[in-house]
Amino acid sequence: MSFDPSSLRFDAAGLVPVIAQDAQSAEILMMAWMNEEAVRRTFETGRVTYWSRSRQSFWVKGETSGNLQHLVELRIDCDRDCLLVLVRQEGPACHTGRRSCFYTALRDGEEVEIQSPQG
């Protein structure tokens, strides 16, 4: 079946959550949002493109920082309301300079930083 972005189940704001996973290491890098046009652009350009809810604009990941996300494969979940993008990430994915946004772990009830900003 040919993929049609309009067949996804977008929420009331017209968005789907998107999980970005490193295609090689399988590390989860970040979670962000796409609207239908962002899905289309990601697919057509090979550069992962989100919809920024705060700025209300398209957000080509890494366009400013240079830390681009290159699309390796896009996957859809069973409910068609969440996407998984396998990516080749240049540099850190997190705006804090860390590889992943999920750098805080709970251990023994305490928040622990398990990743440092890259040098």
Minimal distance, residue 42 CB to a second copy, in Å: 10
Binding mask 34-63 toward a second copy (x if CB under 8 A, else -) reads: ---------x--------------------
Q: How far is CA 98 from CA 85, 93, 115, 116, 117, in A?
A: 19, 7, 7, 6, 4
Minimal distance, residue 22 CB to a second copy, in Å: 9
Name residues contacting a second copy, limited to 75-94 (CB under 8 A). Answer: 75-79, 82, 84, 94
